[in-house]
Structure 1
Amino acid sequence: MAATATVAAPVEQGSQTWAYALILAAGGVALGVSGAPAPLYGMYQQAWHFSPLTTTFVFAVYAVAALVAVLVSGRISDVVGRKPVLLGACALMILGLVVFLFADNVAMLLVARALHGFAVGATVVAGAAALLDLRPTQGARSGQLSGVAFNIGMAVAILGSALLAQYAPYPLRTPYVVITLACLAIGAGVLALREPHTARIAGRIKISRPAVPSEIRSDFWFSALGVMAAWSVLGVLLSLYPALASAKTGIHNLVFGGAVVASTAIAGAGAQYFAGGIPARRAAIIGDIGMAIALLLTIPALNTHNWVLVLAAGFLLGTTFGLGFGGSLRHLSSVVPHHKRGETMSAYYLLAYSAMALPTVVAGWAATTWSLTAVFPWFVVAVALACLTAAGLGLRPRKA
């Protein structure tokens, strides 16, 4: 299918002033969709008697589908516009939620997560490009606010899902109904949105290799290694850490598991918002080093079996995650050439989702072979080393 070059009429200054906030909200809701099932995995596991490895496969299917999305959605949004991609992603999110509503086996969970992975990946990439279209001179600020929106969306969805599953009727159904309503509201807003990408390029819509402009290659790899380390933490945090925290503290209320992840996400949002005055590269380096330290501190915190210390360790981890991820995203957003936004953000999130999927599956396999308690310290040390590697790259003198 070939696409011809089109040039839309320029958007009037001051029109649709809500468009920027809508795109941020769409990103938040998308990450909320990705995180909403996290507190429910334990219930699925008990009801259907599957192992931690199966849980990580369900999670990894989401990440793999997101990888496919970031390979194509940047290019598609450059050719046909951001709005069609965002609308399609919203429809897929709702379809995935419907599959969750009727799921009665692991295969349906895999289908639902695949749909959500593709939808969220497309939303993240097309949304990042749309924000740069709307405010091309505020790339760093857009990167900062995107990170805040992602974390807030995830925190609200995870904690809300846990509360509904614990106290509302139909615990494996009600959370998905509520988040479907949020997706419908976002979809209505996108329908009313004027296309922000007003100078689309000609080209064939196909899977293409994500592009990294040569002039920002060093900056790109610094940012990419930082997000890879951060999202490695995020993968196991969402899939396995709540169960480990509950096992160590003896608190098996779903709200506690949700609160562990939600407090981490809220801390991340706060760090990204209030660190706006710190230069992006410096914030990323501080965050990478801080994540390494915070990760190592989770081990003694869990071994105390004290829920306050477990929450505190998660909060510290979230704060440093926010600095690392937010600084990396702000740095890249401030240097990416405007004509390469879609493909560059595709490359960035391709590496991010790879880093989320692979360690998660390895940790799930190891937890099945040994135990989650035995595996977790080794995972923490490995990811801490990755964080320090990213920080070391950032500390190297920049080439002229």
Structure 2
Amino acid sequence: MVAADRHTGQTQRGAYTLLLVLSGVALGVSGLPAPLYGMYEEVWHLSPLSTTVVFAVYAVAALGAVLVSGRISDVVGRKPVLLAALFAMIVGLGVFLIADNMALLLVARTIHGAAVGSIVVAGAAALLDLRPDHGARSGQLSGVSFNIGMTVAILGSAVLAQYAPHPMRTPYAVVAVICAVVGIGVVALREPHSARTRGPIRIAKPAVPRDIRGDFWFAALGAMASWSVLGVLLSLYPSLAAQQTHVHNLVFGGAVAGTTAFAAALCQLCASRVPARRAAIVGDVGMGLVLLAMIPVLATHNWMLVLAAAALLGATFGLGFGGSLRHLSDVVPADRRGETMSAFYLLAYAAMAIPTIVAGWAATKWPLSAVFPWFAGGAAVACIVAAVVGAISTRRRQAADVTR
């Protein structure tokens, strides 16, 4: 009996790690084309608006996925949703392999948006199923896996595109093989969601349990502020950094985005003992300040300063988003995990898509170097507002606790 329990624990630990790896691979796929957008613009004569539309289509598809995938995974289980999403992700990579025009890019990114959105929501719920008493830890490790996956994918994509043959094909072929290997592990995964929800599968309403609404909005505002920064960072900022520093090697553009993601992962990992609320507030304030500082940094045309600013932005992003996700994961009720995480990522993806499209449109009217200061200023204001709202809600919560 003891041996059986030990074997079960090992199986569960393996499942938990597999889900974190899957989350990292999914977010890696989302960032995979980031170093290649400049190449698409040059080879296919696309405008910055076209680039951001391709990116935003991904976010819109992810929005649709997070609306339904949480509820579907509550009803049919996490494993079927994860397997279907992983298969779709490989199909999307196949479309990238044959893409020779913008229409196919849009198709590929739409498939990937739906797949990644489903994995993010169903995977987050599955992690909580496996370790229901470690919500904050699961939220922290999810954020770390997201950013490590993006770091590896973006840097790997940039290196392959710069030095390997067939630069607009090879990165997708390599990642497709990785997805297939992870898929073997998911096939062997035992279903983690034993208490299924009854009822028809429907589009989830953007609502959360009444007793955690204050906590939810505190976490969601921080996520929205940080993901609005993430959208432009992955779609336009690598090209802008290359323009301003006069370093046109694809690896540099990938290093800028990769440095941000890696710093975010490292900060989330090291901030585990910082209370989630405090981490989110400090991170939001830090993001606002770093965004404002990036305006004069770009004007120096110094690539080392640009990389340093990217690292600082990643560290503050890790605190802000990581703290928000940890806090929500710790308070969400067990029977509402799927729908609550859907609502959370719905707002996050909306905050990513809308500023990205606006920035891309503006870049068709004015130089990207003139657009970025306005975007940075607006995003900085959003980050500071999220921090202020978080601080006020924290004080009210403390006052209510004292009253009780």
Q: 1:28 maps to which residue?
A: 24
Which of 105, 123, 127 is equivalent to 1:131?
127
Give the number of equivalent residue pairs: 390
Decide whether the 8 Å contact of 2:12 with 2:130 is kept in 1.
no
1:13-92 alignment, distance < 5 Å: 13-92=9-88
Question: 1:243: which partner in 2?
Answer: 239
What 5-or-longer segments of structure 2 have no aligned partner? 1-6
| 1:338 aligns to 2:334 (yes or no) | yes
C-alpha contact (below 8 Å) 1:93/1:120 kept by paired residues: yes
SS across alignment from 2:272? helix
- The unaligned stretches of length 5 or more in structure 1 are 1-10
The question of whether the paired residues in 2 share the 8 Å contact of 1:16 and 1:193 is answered with no
State how far apart, in whole Å, the 1-side matches of 2:186 and 2:396 are.
41
Which of 152, 157, 161 aligns to 1:161? It is: 157
| Corresponding residue for residue 396 of structure 2 | 398
What is the aligned partner in structure 1 of residue 177 from structure 2? 181
CA positional deviation for 1:83: 0.2
Query: Which residue number corresponds to residue 276 of structure 1?
Result: 272
Instruction: Provide the rounded CA distance (Å) in 1 between the counterparts of 2:280 and 2:92.
Output: 34
Distance 1:335 1:288 in 2: 20
CA distance, structure 1, for counterparts of residue 375 and residue 40 of structure 2: 24
Give the equivalent residue in structure 2 for 1:287.
283
Query: What secondary structure is seen at the aligned counterpart in 1 of 2:166?
Result: coil
Give the equivalent residue in structure 1 for 2:258.
Answer: 262
Paired residue type of 1:320: T
Q: Alpha-carbon deviation of 1:201?
A: 1.1
Match of 1:386 among 376, 382, 386: 382
Q: Contact conserved, 1:280 with 1:331, CA < 8 A, in 2? A: yes
Q: CA deviation at 1:206?
A: 1.9
Is residue 2:296 matched to residue 1:308? no
Separation in 2, partners of 1:22, 1:69:
21
Deviation at 1:50, TM superposition (A): 1.2
Paired position in structure 2 for 1:107: 103
Equivalent-residue separation in structure 2 for 1:351 and 1:15 (angstroms): 34
| Alpha-carbon separation, structure 1, partners of 2:37 and 2:154 | 12
State the partner residue of 2:371: 375
Equivalent runs, 1:195-274 vs 2, <5 Å? 195-274=191-270
Question: 102-111 or 182-191, which moves further after superposition?
Answer: 182-191
Compare 298-307 and 14-23 and name the one that shifted more: 14-23
Q: Which secondary structure state, in structure 2, belongs to the residue aligned with residue 107 of structure 1?
A: helix
Deviations 1:197-240 (A, max 9, x none): 01101111121213311000001001000000000000000000
User: Which residue in 2 is equivalent to 1:6?
Assistant: none
TM-score, length-normalised on structure 2? 0.95
Distance 2:361 2:158 in 1: 26
Shift of the alpha carbon at 1:186? 1.2
Tell me the TM-score normalised to structure 1 length.
Answer: 0.96
8 Å Cα contact 2:56-2:354 kept in structure 1: yes
State the alpha-carbon separation in 2 of the partners of residues 158 and 342 from structure 1. 29
Q: Which amino acid aligns with 1:220?
A: F
Root mean square deviation of aligned Cα: 0.9
Matches of 1:398 and 1:73, distance apart in 2: 34
State how far apart, in whole Å, the 1-side matches of 2:269 and 2:372 are: 30
Rounded Cα–Cα distance in structure 2 between residues aligned with 1:395 and 1:365: 34
**Superposed displacement of residue 14, structure 1:** 4.2
